[in-house]
Amino acid sequence: MPCRTVLNIIDLHKRYGQLEVLHGVSLEVKKGQVLVVVGPSGCGKSTLLRCINGLEPIDSGNIELNGGSITDGKTRWNLVRQKIGMVFQSYDLFPHMTVMENILLGPLKAQGRNRAEVEHEAEELLERVGLLDRRDSWPGQLSGGQKQRVAIVRALCMQPEIMLFDEVTASLDPEMVREVLDVMLELARRGMTMIIVTHEMAFAKAVADRVIFMDAGVIVESAPPDQFFENPASERARKFLNIFQFTGVTKEEQTDEKNGSN
Ligand SMILES: Nc1ncnc2c1ncn2[C@@H]1O[C@H](COP(=O)(O)OP(=O)(O)OP(=O)(O)O)[C@@H](O)[C@H]1O
Ligand SMILES: [Mg+2]
């Protein structure tokens, strides 16, 4: 069971000009834990992830990684970001580099690691996501789902302590969503520490150790998935989940539910 705290966010406030987007968010992530963050559009989910890996400066509060503050102004972000892997909605592979070159770039250039060793690790990871035969392909030759799986491998190859995923399936065609979600489920099974922002509620229920429901820049609920999805404590969460029953569930998931599986 999870024990050591990997990431600790304490009373985080973030504003864009006059607009305060995060109003005192506190969150603890233990080693091996999978947190899934859900909430309405604009509630601050992406902003939270962007603050965690230093893409946005924070206004007050503190973020600690492995017990040390990364928001005290002394942070060397190029080092910290090696420990925090992030995958976004848009897969940002370099188009002029092959799959393997894309993956090797960070470990070789930023971490100065041995090429043969990293290449071996990259091949193992590509195998795990079913893309070893694509190691020498160009990004332009891959489908969206394949590109997104390469983006995940690229982040994993840096050997991060924690992975952040921001709606990584949102721009994929429905038939490619599953293959990417399966990779994340497999990572969870292997004990990767993760924060996942998603609108895929059936996936959230399956993968989460804890669901964080945000609304208007605050954490409204933090609960185990069964409790959150079956018996949410707040009216706001109930409304949010109701909307999803009508708009957010795919046909495939509706059929799964009727068949009694998840
Ligand atoms: N760079 C920016 N400058 C100004 N305002 C911003 C900026 N980025 C985000 N915002 C605002 O901050 C709020 C939170 O945005 P954020 O992207 O974190 O929401 P979200 O929960 O990720 O939404 P979605 O589910 O649509 O991705 C929104 O009101 C948004 O308009
Ligand atoms: Mg977002």
Please name the residue whose Cα sits nearest to atom 9 of ligand 1.
Answer: 47
> Ligand 2 mean position to 152 CA, how many Å?
18
Q: What was the pLDDT predicted at 44? A: 98
Nearest to 240 by CA among 195, 194, 201: 201
CA–centroid distance, residue 258 to ligand 2 (Å)? 30
Segment 78-136, tens digit of pLDDT: 889 899 999 998 878 999 999 999 999 999 999 999 999 999 999 999 999 999 999 99
* Joined tokens for residue 42: 């604009």
Phi, psi of 125, deg, nearest 5: -70, -40
Q: Which of 43, 197, 219 to mutate to test the pocket of ligand 1 (most atoms within 8 A of CB)?
A: 43
Ligand 1 contacts CB of residue 18 (under 6 A): no
**How many Cβ atoms are within 10 Å of 105's Cβ, its own excluded?**
15
Q: pTM (2 decimals)?
A: 0.91
Residue 186: both structure tokens together: 């497999």
* Ligand 1 and 21: CB distance under 6 A: yes
pLDDT at 251 over 90: no
Q: How far is the CA of 220 from the centre of ligand 1 (A)?
A: 18
For residue 33 and ligand 1, the question of a CB distance below 6 A is answered with: no
Displacement of CA 187 from its chain's centroid (Å) = 11
Write a three-state SS string for the chain: CCCCEEEEEEEEEEEECCEEEEEEEEEEEECCCEEEEECCCCCCHHHHHHHHCCCCCCCEEEEEECCEECCCCCCCHHHHHHHEEEECCCCCCCCCCCHHHHHHHHHHHHCCCCHHHHHHHHHHHHHHCCCHHHCCCCHHHCCHHHHHHHHHHHHHCCCCCEEEEECCCCCCCHHHHHHHHHHHHHHHHCCCCEEEECCCHHHHHHHCCEEEEEECCEEEEEECHHHHHHCCCCHHHHHHHHHHHHHCCCHHHHHHHHCCCC
Ligand 1, atom 28: nearest CA belongs to which residue? 42
Q: Whose CA is nearest to atom 1 of ligand 1?
A: 16
Considering only 62-71, 174-183, 245-254, which range has the smallest mean pLDDT?
A: 245-254
Q: Is the CB of 68 under 6 A from ligand 1?
A: no
Alpha-carbon span 142 to 150, nearest angstrom: 10
- pLDDT classification of 261: cutoffs 50, 70, 90: very low
pLDDT at residue 246, as a whole number: 58
For 63-89, what is the mean pLDDT? 92
Per-residue pLDDT reduced to its tens digit, 198-234: 999 999 999 999 999 999 999 999 999 999 999 999 9
46, 70 contact by CB (below 8 A): no
**Which residues have a Cβ under 8 Å from the Cβ of 179 and sit 6 or more positions away?**
130, 145, 149
Q: From ligand 1's centre to the CA of 47, what distance in Å?
A: 6
Half-sphere exposure of 86 (CA within 13 A, CB side): 20
Tokens representing residue 16 in the block: 């864009």
Please give the mean pLDDT across all residues of the chain: 91
Ligand 1 contacts CB of residue 44 (under 6 A): yes
Atom of ligand 1 nearest to the CA of 217: 14
More reliable by pLDDT, 62 or 252: 62
For residues 122-138, b (16+ Cβ closer than 10 Å) or e, as one string? beebbebbebeebbeeb
Atom from ligand 1 closest to the CA of residue 43? 21
Q: Which ligand has the minimum distance to the alpha carbon of residue 199?
A: 1
Distance 197 CA to ligand 2 centre (A): 8
More confident residue, 40 or 255: 40
